[in-house]
Structure 1
């Protein structure tokens, strides 16, 4: 421990001097602790600082100034790391999209040479950025906004001023974070993301116009999309009313119409599309005026008024993007200039990808909620997850699927429904009917551990008449789900109703929860088991003749290493979530894959916290998704796709080359984590200290 009896040093003149003095103290304490293992360097430094404080060698003003200095330094570094993480260069992303688009067109021209190949490539949505929300809003939104702005500028003075502004604000989370607050922050990120997609789609159209000047308007580029589950995620919470979800979807619809009216050229060619959009926007505003607010328990009279507004304004508000897309396509043909045609075509791409929503919706609940809703009509004892009950549950749900008939859904029935899964299905039915029925909606089921869950969800979807617009998606996150996930899908695929459902939608969706998987089996082991499950899903699809069905892989994770992120760059993070071995397996099987990745809470939203950051993030996503098409060397690209052994492509990685070794290594890591989780002391530690030491950082109930 530093010797407190030594002569007192003079009070440091500046915060910088105090920082240097205390760093010397830390270094000295660490050196002494290395010689004596019983000494605690943290405690030693704490005591030394306290005693200097008592002897008035330092005072409160000195510490306040030091804290401000350290905070400014930390925030400045944070802004720099954010800029580097998304690969935002000194040019603030100018010209990057044009370069990527030009290389894509050149690659197509070099290999196939026709517009149809390019149109097919960029006309399929291959990636979606999903803005999610849990208790992860640990950074005040004002600080997050300042950091995003600081990371986006190359002006040193402006950056310093922004960092200074952030440093002057509280380090604690915003005192009260409501679902409305989370939705607002998600919308800001989504709007930046949508604008970045417009820039990229515009670059694709420019490249197409240069290569195919007479036919470029035939291309409707929508390679990427924006989605969100904020306001639609009812897993583990009962505080989100169906009226809240409807209100959020209406707000998203309003924002989409406002985007069209803001950017649509005011020329004669766009009059029909403009009038249609303006009328629809007015109707949506009237519908929103009657929507109950967050935290209220609406009376029957309030529900009646809201329902009446949705029904009366339904046709004028539009519930499908078809008429608007037709109006925009006609406007492109009638426009006088390429500049106007380009602007309209960009808007058309945004509508084609997102329908009448600013961000595509993801709904989520728990498998147990599905089971409880179906239990009312199924005469079976025991739990579906019980291996001894597996066959009887699968057989019974198949019988129910043979005879299921849709029932009418109205707002009265929705208001009276008490089962959470049934209520969510009815909410989706009303959204598709009265808000936006353009695209199928994602229906995520947490803790899926049996194929019965998927078939039960399909029964509910048919019962409420939404099966043709519902992407039922199992979330594999628990230890059992990671181990048995392939059996879950196999049991479902053996059922003809499930197979027909997939064929009709043309899509099999699965979700991997890196963050919760890390909690159950440890992040190291979870990564291996998730990739192994991905590989086996591809094999299962090939075996079941589903190569014509698109595979959607949604990776949910946090923004830390322990929750499935990556510390160095967004490019490395995307490669971590979608390793080359798994991607090559899909290519070899001829299965098209759509990748989706969550950006979670204030830390995740930072990557879309400004226009330049969002454009850089979209560019990194494009480089990842189109890695093969952007390869200049045809011979190398063909080798990667067709010839190179997986182990060689992975640099001789023993994870691929020695499967038995890999399985045993990661099983041992998993067992250690499971033993820790089962330790009563571990649960007591988290339960005792967690709630007392960690701020509330979200709207979700503890």
Structure 2
């Protein structure tokens, strides 16, 4: 079995044997077949490398095809025509209302989802950007993965935003040309703003302490320099002698120089003073507002007319959208960080209970009485509170970098209205409340359950309502990260939908129809993280449903929808000019800012709440049982984080205690690694589990409701997509790695006598290991639920699908099965090799048993470091020294441990590296990491 064809054919054959015995595991059997070949003479690691290369190429091509399908068509000419055909021509006022406010705010976030290497990402994007067949020439040879730093993430954000800006300019030009043709006497009044961009990369302090305030200032200055340079180039392309260039070019250079000042080490007060004084000093090149530039461009456009008029107005529109940066920026802190800062300021004795009504009264008075304080860079440098430091950084950005563009302050784990008022207090304390949008994040189970009451209470506060009217919006953030992990993806989406409806109702009840509702739905590209995989239309309406949008429309509240494009996976939508234009054109056609107040009237999911609420609660309770189950936690953490490549600058730390993995809590693993581990184990539990159990018995009323509901159909499309990639047999197979009986029996018939020693040692070592039972119990629970899901599918009307979908789905399942079996064989190779290494003495409190456990939990880098220390292959020799005194000892050359390195350490290292490449390929089949 040295070809992928042979591998998948063998897997197909083995699947047939499940008819003989339901407990037969074709994935694990194939891994045994491969392992026997690998431990004999039938397969080498070089052969495995070739198999992995072919399988990962196919997965990469599938990734590119899926990306193209989501945004197709990708031809710029076709997209220009598609947008033109979608524009209405009858009413100028309606046209302006539709396009003068963003149809979508796109936020480029950077959690650790940089799965692909730069070369792989470029190959996927290039393949997806063309209409022709995607061939093997789009694959790239694997290369050494370099650590993903914050600077790399920021560079990628800037590249994605630049493509987005260019695509938006193309769309803006089409809108202006349309208006010019349809309303020649009025079109100059049209000020298009179809999309707005933002980023939190370099400003998000939730869950990390490695981003310094000076780095945030430096990033913002670098963004200003880059954007001014782009404005300059755009204007120069219109008119190389335009007088405004004499302002834009020096301003770009000035911002670049100030960015360089803040890129260095500013821990020395003298260095900080120099950089700060340069930035705060008056300088004619220090451009703080683009409004004069916008006014001049639009005045000129009105005077010149024709095509040049459109070009000038496109540039003005870009300036109005982005300001003096590549887009708006989002700072983020945790509620606890905010509470700590508040106690220092208003509650030094720690007597204030922020969940009490007394705290609301106290903060209400404090906000009303607060007198703004001035702050400089010295205050920023010496501030120890993370939350206050973020406000001080915002002060400097608004005063000395961009006075126009507002800043979002996202507050994670916000569960009390007092937390929002605390943020408002600090915004007023430092005199920036007119430029800061405080946005509570609703993501935890508690926040989603009680979020409606929080919004009701908040919107009854006069100080908050006055602030929201000043800003022109009420801003909230809903998260699909911890929500999808701890509540389950389907219940989380339904809970978020209800919360969004509660916001619309609370705003209407408190007379807030005169401000917009900005709803930021933060999710990744994975189906386990809130991104619907079937279509861009589903991706848009999954986090902000037609029902929720209809609630805002019914209340007469303008909606500002905002979504995240997260990390390396999300940036692929903007990785080339063609993809960026296709993505924004599809979004422009979908018009997510618009809602139909009658959209849900005919959907039984919302009419039959007796059924849908019971369905929601049943799925949620089933997911909660998994979350609280020690079996589930042990299975997810069985390999620690060793199944995953590092995929971002925010590193998830492994436990230093070698035995801690056995008791690791799910809360010690972040949401993205949690979801990614589920992919790697073969079953996205937080997407699929509970749907079948919730419909247990196929209640006719429930079945009828699900069959006739558009929202239910969307839920089922998500579940079917996940289920098409899932394999409970694979989950069970991972447990068999730790089956003592398997290892004891493997050489029993004399087929592998050379493995008798290590197999016996493995059997003895694993006899008390709990992981085989853990995986078996989890697989049993999943199977019971999956059978019920299958029964539900039989009770529902058949789903129409393309003729080749079934064959394509099966081919993908076989490819994933082959990858999983190959990785299991590699793991067995590692286990056998580490068991065969000679004993060595304890060093630095690390024993041989510790090293074994490191390998079994895939802490392979740590294990190999210990082994290389115990068995060095490079060490000092007498000949290295130039000494006059003769010596007879040591006698001859010591060969060291070269054979141990060659036969044991290096094969483990290589096998693990191949397993990580397999992990990338599996994630590509799932469409995203985590």
Give your verdict on TM over 0.5: yes
Deviation of 1:52 after TM superposition, in Å, equals: 3.3
Q: 1:305 to 1:381 in 2, by over 3 A?
A: closer
Q: Residues of 2 paired with 1:688 and 1:401: CA distance?
A: 50
Contact map agreement 1:122 1:221 (CA 8 A) in 2:
yes
Q: Which runs of 5+ in 1 are unaligned?
A: 1-11, 629-639
1:115-130 alignment runs, 5 A limit: 115-130=92-107
**Residue 69 of structure 1 corresponds to which residue in structure 2?**
54
1:373 corresponds to 2:344: no
Deviation of 1:300 after TM superposition, in Å, equals: 1.1
Contact map agreement 1:196 1:611 (CA 8 A) in 2:
yes
Q: 1:278 to 1:327 in 2, by over 3 A?
A: farther
- SS at 1:674's partner residue? helix
Deviation of 1:254 after TM superposition, in Å, equals: 1.1
Deviation of 1:65 after TM superposition, in Å, equals: 3.0
- SS at 2:405's partner residue? coil
- SS at 2:615's partner residue? helix
Residue number among 285, 295, 314 corresponding to 1:346 in the alignment: 314
**Residue 122 of structure 2 corresponds to which residue in structure 1?**
145
1:195-234 alignment runs, 5 A limit: 195-234=166-205
Residue number among 191, 194, 199 corresponding to 2:162 in the alignment: 191
**Residue 169 of structure 1 corresponds to which residue in structure 2?**
142
**Residue 753 of structure 2 corresponds to which residue in structure 1?**
none
Residue number among 524, 528, 531 corresponding to 1:562 in the alignment: 528
C-alpha deviations, 1:428-466, integer Å up to 9, x for none? 010000111212211110011000001111101111111
Residue number among 243, 248, 254 corresponding to 1:277 in the alignment: 248
Q: Residues of 1 paired with 2:592 and 2:39: CA distance?
A: 62
Q: Residues of 1 paired with 2:87 and 2:241: CA distance?
A: 30
Q: 1:665 to 1:381 in 2, by over 3 A?
A: farther
Residue number among 694, 698, 701 corresponding to 2:644 in the alignment: 694
Deviation of 1:262 after TM superposition, in Å, equals: 1.2
**Residue 34 of structure 2 corresponds to which residue in structure 1?**
49
Q: Which moved more, 1:339-348 or 1:53-62?
A: 53-62
Deviation of 1:371 after TM superposition, in Å, equals: 0.7
Contact map agreement 2:547 2:599 (CA 8 A) in 1:
no
Deviation of 1:519 after TM superposition, in Å, equals: 1.4
Deviation of 1:385 after TM superposition, in Å, equals: 5.5
Residue number among 86, 91, 101 corresponding to 2:71 in the alignment: 86
1:361 corresponds to 2:329: yes
Q: Residues of 2 paired with 1:375 and 1:604: CA distance?
A: 38
Contact map agreement 1:287 1:306 (CA 8 A) in 2:
yes
Structure of higher CA gyration radius: 2
**Residue 493 of structure 2 corresponds to which residue in structure 1?**
527
Deviation of 1:583 after TM superposition, in Å, equals: 1.4
Deviation of 1:20 after TM superposition, in Å, equals: 2.3
**Residue 391 of structure 1 corresponds to which residue in structure 2?**
357
Deviation of 1:30 after TM superposition, in Å, equals: 2.0
C-alpha deviations, 1:170-217, integer Å up to 9, x for none? 3x7x33111001101111111111111011001001101111234423
1:485-500 alignment runs, 5 A limit: 485-500=451-466
Q: 1:698 to 1:61 in 2, by over 3 A?
A: closer
Q: 1:479 to 1:531 in 2, by over 3 A?
A: same
Contact map agreement 1:105 1:207 (CA 8 A) in 2:
no
- SS at 2:207's partner residue? coil
Contact map agreement 1:561 1:567 (CA 8 A) in 2:
yes
Contact map agreement 1:177 1:699 (CA 8 A) in 2:
yes
1:649-688 alignment runs, 5 A limit: 650=603, 653=604, 655-680=605-630, 682-687=632-637
1:381-420 alignment runs, 5 A limit: 381=350, 384=353, 386=355, 390-420=356-386
TM-score by length of 2: 0.67
**Residue 104 of structure 1 corresponds to which residue in structure 2?**
87
1:328 corresponds to 2:297: yes
Deviation of 1:265 after TM superposition, in Å, equals: 4.1
C-alpha deviations, 1:583-614, integer Å up to 9, x for none? 12211111100101101111111111111111
- SS at 2:285's partner residue? helix
1:492-641 alignment runs, 5 A limit: 492-625=458-591, 641=596
Q: 1:627 to 1:312 in 2, by over 3 A?
A: closer
Contact map agreement 1:147 1:162 (CA 8 A) in 2:
no
**Residue 238 of structure 1 corresponds to which residue in structure 2?**
209
- SS at 2:76's partner residue? coil
Deviation of 1:684 after TM superposition, in Å, equals: 4.8
**Residue 637 of structure 1 corresponds to which residue in structure 2?**
none
TM-align CA RMSD = 2.2
Q: 1:58 to 1:686 in 2, by over 3 A?
A: closer
Contact map agreement 2:560 2:593 (CA 8 A) in 1:
no
Deviation of 1:556 after TM superposition, in Å, equals: 0.4
Q: 1:269 to 1:67 in 2, by over 3 A?
A: closer
Deviation of 1:155 after TM superposition, in Å, equals: 5.0
- SS at 1:535's partner residue? helix
1:304 corresponds to 2:273: yes
Contact map agreement 1:152 1:612 (CA 8 A) in 2:
yes
1:457 corresponds to 2:429: no
- SS at 2:646's partner residue? coil
**Residue 154 of structure 1 corresponds to which residue in structure 2?**
131
Deviation of 1:496 after TM superposition, in Å, equals: 1.3
**Residue 7 of structure 1 corresponds to which residue in structure 2?**
none
Q: Residues of 1 paired with 2:480 and 2:59: CA distance?
A: 28
Q: 1:594 to 1:545 in 2, by over 3 A?
A: same
Contact map agreement 1:83 1:151 (CA 8 A) in 2:
yes
Q: Residues of 1 paired with 2:640 and 2:524: CA distance?
A: 18
C-alpha deviations, 1:72-126, integer Å up to 9, x for none? 222222211111111225xx131423442454242xx1xxx3x343223211123
Deviation of 1:234 after TM superposition, in Å, equals: 0.6
Contact map agreement 2:354 2:419 (CA 8 A) in 1:
no
Contact map agreement 1:518 1:562 (CA 8 A) in 2:
yes
Q: Which moved more, 1:22-31 or 1:364-373?
A: 22-31
Q: 1:605 to 1:162 in 2, by over 3 A?
A: farther
Q: How many residues align?
A: 651
Q: 1:169 to 1:344 in 2, by over 3 A?
A: farther
1:402-481 alignment runs, 5 A limit: 402-481=368-447
Contact map agreement 1:265 1:344 (CA 8 A) in 2:
no
1:646 corresponds to 2:591: no
Deviation of 1:645 after TM superposition, in Å, equals: 6.8
Contact map agreement 1:287 1:313 (CA 8 A) in 2:
no
TM-score by length of 1: 0.88
Q: Residues of 2 paired with 1:598 and 1:682: CA distance?
A: 29
Q: 1:668 to 1:395 in 2, by over 3 A?
A: same
Q: Residues of 2 paired with 1:603 and 1:267: CA distance?
A: 35
Deviation of 1:299 after TM superposition, in Å, equals: 1.4
Contact map agreement 1:125 1:222 (CA 8 A) in 2:
yes
Q: Residues of 2 paired with 1:525 and 1:382: CA distance?
A: 37
C-alpha deviations, 1:547-574, integer Å up to 9, x for none? 1110011100111111101111212211
- SS at 1:51's partner residue? helix
Deviation of 1:258 after TM superposition, in Å, equals: 1.1
Deviation of 1:35 after TM superposition, in Å, equals: 2.1
Q: Residues of 1 paired with 2:180 and 2:236: CA distance?
A: 19
Q: Which moved more, 1:663-672 or 1:553-562?
A: 663-672
